[in-house]
Structures are given as C-alpha cells and as structure tokens.
Amino acid sequence: MTDAGTSLAGRVALITGAGSGQGRAAAELFAAHGGRIGVIDIDDAGAAETVRLVAAAGSEALAVHADVSRRADVDRMVAATVERFGRLDVLYNNAAVQMSGRLVECTDAEWDRTIATNLSAIFWACRAAAPHLRKTGGSIINTASVLGLIGSEGYAAYGAAKAGLVALTRQLATELAPAVRANVIAPGSIDTPRFRKVADAMPDPEGFLSGLRQNLPLRRLGAAEDIARVALFLASDASAYTSGAVVPCDGGLAALR
C-alpha cells in the first residue's frame, strides 16, 4: 500500500535502536515505502541484520554503531547518516533502556543511565539533526510510553524520562515549526524480544501475559509492526498537519485512563 501519502521515496530516515524490535520493523516498513535508512544500534550484529532486511525490501541502509547515552555517539550517528545519504528527512528516536525499580530503591547509576538514554539522548539527537531537518521540512518521531502518561509501580526513572520526552516533543513542535514536525508515539505492551524477556522473568509468564491481554480493550498485545505503521504515518506526508501530538498505540489502554 504505497499511495503518495505514505511514500518515503527519495527520503532518508535515521532510526535509533533499529537493530531489533520496533526499530527494525520500522526500518523494513520505511524501506518498503522507498526510504533510505540510517540504522543505529549499540548491537552491531542486530544492525547488520536490519541492513540486510532493508536491502531485501529494495532499499539501502547504513549501519552506525552508537551508544545513545553518549553525546559524541549521537552527534556522530547524525553526521554519518547525512554524510552517506546527503540529507535527513526523518529522525526516529526509538532506542531506550528499561530498568524497573521503585523510587526509593532506584540507585543514582540507574537513574542517570535511564535519563541519559531515554531523555538526554533525544535532546542531543534533535539538536544535532535540527539544521538538516529544517532543510528538508522533516519529521521527528519520539517513542515515549504509556508509562510516560501515567504512573505505574516500579518504573520511577523510566516513567519520568518518558514524560520528559513528551514535554520535550511538545516543545520541539512549537520551536521547530513551521519547517519541522515533531510527534510522540506512546506504545503500550508490545510483544518484542525485550518485552518477552521482562515477561519471562515473572513468576508466571503465561498468567502475566493473559492478564495483560484481558485488561486491554483490543484483547491482544501489540506487534512491532503495529508501531511501525504509526511511525510511517508520522514520518510521511500523510500526517502533514499533525505536530505536537501524542499518539497512543496501545490496544485502547489510554482510553481506560
């Protein structure tokens, strides 16, 4: 389904955390719609596999190794992508770490790493990419979380970082307009390898998963492809008049709040 609205032909998208899960699904879908992709990940093998999948989808990708909690890596990933492809149209900040822990038990090191990876990294990336995105009339997509909109036991630093990211994105939507749009995707429970790892660590993984499904209006977990389709909408001209929005993709969970 490549109508003009969701075409990324001639455009370049940088996707962080593209070596697996939601980032990889977006890279494949963006590629299928004509986009060239900067595949950013801390996991080189995962990034290489995504590059292969992008090629199989008929497009072209560049893998860049980056730990987004380091400013220098973030600057380098933007520069390398622009150097290779000559432009930047879409900045998709998808990479994140998720460490759970109650506020009173959260160590300074856990706090600092979570805030750096999930909030400061996006600030650095947007600052570095803004001049390039202004030239192309680009789009910024930031992955927050339903946990950035509500509180939930055990996610003190994570929830704070994601809520900060929502606020930062609203801010960007006002500052970088009219040239650049900025929006947030707020995924709910998405069935990715990382999510399975969390579930498997539970005392009763199957009971946990079926309880989650039961609690969702749509009665199923999300798939990485569900998020990728929302990301494509926000990346493309299909959302030309949408900026500063928080789009939940959560099986209807947000409607319960």
Partner 1 sequence: MTPGRFAGRGAIVTGGASGLGAAVAAALAAEGARVIVADVDAAGAERVAGEIGGRALRVDVTSAADAAAAVRAAEADGGLHVLVLSAAVEIRADLEATSDDDWQRVLDVNLKGPFLCMRAGIPAIARSGGGAVVALGSTLGAIGQPGFAAYCASKGALVNLCKQAAIEHAADGVRVNVVAPSACDVGLFVRTAERTGNAAAVMRQVAANMPMRRLGTARDVCDTVLFLASDAAAYVSGTVVPLDGGLAARRQ
Q: How far is it, in rounded angstroms, from Cα 101 to Cα 94? A: 22
Report residue 26 as tokens: 């977006």
Q: How far is it, in rounded angstroms, from Cα 247 to Cα 82? A: 28
* 72 binding partner 1? (CB under 8 A): no
CA-to-CA dists, residue 124 to 21, 146, 195, 207, angstroms? 23, 23, 26, 40
Position among 9, 45, 56, 103 found at the interface with partner 1 (CB under 8 A): 103
Q: Which is nearer to partner 1, 157 or 209 (CB)?
A: 157
CA-to-CA dists, residue 223 to 56, 148, 250, 256, angstroms? 21, 20, 10, 20
Position among 44, 175, 200, 225 found at the interface with partner 1 (CB under 8 A): 175
H-assigned helices in the chain: 21-32, 44-56, 71-85, 108-115, 121-136, 156-175, 193-200, 205-215, 224-235
Binding to partner 1 (CB under 8 A) within 225-254 occurs at 244
Position among 104, 109, 206, 241 found at the interface with partner 1 (CB under 8 A): 104
Q: Is 158 a catalytic residue?
A: yes
Q: How far is it, in rounded angstroms, from Cα 249 to Cα 138? A: 22
According to DSSP, the β-strands at 246-249 and 12-16 are: unpaired
Q: Which is nearer to partner 1, 31 or 182 (CB)?
A: 182
Stretch that binds partner 1, among 149-157, 188-196, 206-214, 232-240 (CB under 8 A): 149-157
Q: Which is nearer to partner 1, 167 or 256 (CB)?
A: 167
Position among 174, 205, 252, 256 found at the interface with partner 1 (CB under 8 A): 174
Q: Which is nearer to partner 1, 7 or 136 (CB)?
A: 136
Residues that bind partner 1 (CB under 8 A): 71, 102-104, 106, 108, 111, 115, 119-120, 123-124, 126-127, 130-131, 147-157, 159-176, 244
Report, as residue numbers or ranges, the catalytic residues. Answer: 158
